Homo-oligomer: A and B are copies of this chain.
Amino acid sequence: MNIAIMGFGVVGSGVAELMEKNHASITEKSMQPSMNIKYILDLRDFPDSPFHDKIIHDFSVILHDESVAIVVETMGGLHPAFEFVSDLLRAGKSVVTSNKELVAAKGYELLTLAQEKNVNFLFEASVGGGIPIIRPITQCLAANEIDEIAGILNGTTNFILTKMIAENMEMGEALAMAQHLGYAEKDPTADIDGIDSCRKICILASLCFGKHIYPSEVRTEGIRDVQLRDVSYAANGGYVMKLLGVARRVKNGRLCIFVAPCLVQGHSQLASVDDVFNAILVRGDAIGDVVFYGRGAGKLPTASAVVADVIDCAKHMAKRKLLDWGAPEEGFVMDCAEVPYRFYVRGVCANDETAEQVKAALSSQMLHITNAPSGEIAFLTEEISEKELRSSLASFSGFTIGSLMRVTAY
């Protein structure tokens, strides 16, 4: 069985390396006489790579070679990945991708195309790197109605928050360290502003709730505005700050979905997820909470997920895996500012009287604060919608909001 890889960057070269390293067992598990990488598509040449003789520059070679049954897309980006993958599926080839941007933007179209052509379009590596999550949701938790899914989906921001929490480091310093260690890009916007997490929670939500969710529908807030003192006030209350992607079915059957820094319970499995690790919590009606933890990025962990999909494609050439979701639906995603949550509030009171009034009206738990600017208070509320909370806070003319974050029930 012939395979092509498109994009010989970190993940693509990891796929080639892993297929070479564990070749015998991968071939056996694929139930094929052989598993052979025939082409590697890249703009560049790699004269020093052991795979240099497989490098090609012309996509149409892969598209028109009928001996290539499975194509791995590890190019990243929306274009030309979308056009290439569409053409390949239309030509009856199965495609495996690690490209979250592609799946979040075009998942429904590509899955529909794959269905029409009776081929597989798999993307385990697009969320949580090597952590098994797409397949466990579709198969192992198939007997459950999923109520909620929440994850630490971005290693860079989790590394930064970990440094802030554990070493009292300022955000800027932690970011510089992440860049130095190669965990963050030179332009860290996609990580820091939650864009990467947003794409991933879109994929998970589409899978769990059956309708395509676009990133543009998701209220997305990164960690740029997180202050070191928010992290420490949260810790004083027994909470750990994490950047979460959350998708939750609310009572009216609609979906509350957002990306934002949240306060998670100190004893939660998510609280102890440190550094660049990722973890995803799934709450099902039968199973309760399950958590999947591991390396959310990196060459070989991500390649591990890609190759698992390749094996699955090879085993199921004749039959599609049941991995699909429906069309996007107007009004399915609701305004998450209307969904009740407990909130963390930090703000400055003009005087003691305001402080007393705000506390009396909204606080269920005051947080111990240290080295704070004059008049600053921090507290947790009872369950209240963000809309109501903001309107209530606005009614106190002497109160200025500094920070407002959701407190999760896990």
Contacts and interface: CB of A to CB of B under 8 A. Distances in A.
A292 to B, nearest CB: 6
Q: Secondary structure at chain A's binding surface: helix, strand, loop or mixed? A: mixed
A300 B286 contact: yes
Interface in A112-156: 124, 130-132, 135-136, 139-145
B269 A286 contact: no
Nearest to A291: B293
A29 B142 contact: yes
A180 interface: no
A269 B271 CA distance: 10
Nearest to A143: B307
A274 B284 contact: no
Given A139-B312, A145-B22, A294 B291 contact: yes
B143 A311 contact: yes
Contacts of A304: 141, 143-144, 284, 286-287
A285 to B, nearest CB: 7
B287 A301 contact: yes
A68 to B, nearest CB: 19
A72 to B, nearest CB: 12
A250 interface: no
Contacts of A293: 269, 290-293
A367 to B, nearest CB: 23
A353 to B, nearest CB: 42
A203 to B, nearest CB: 16
A322 interface: yes
- 10 smallest beta-carbon distances between A and B, as pairs: A132-B140, A143-B307, A290-B294, A286-B304, A291-B293, A130-B287, A132-B136, A286-B300, A287-B304, A142-B311
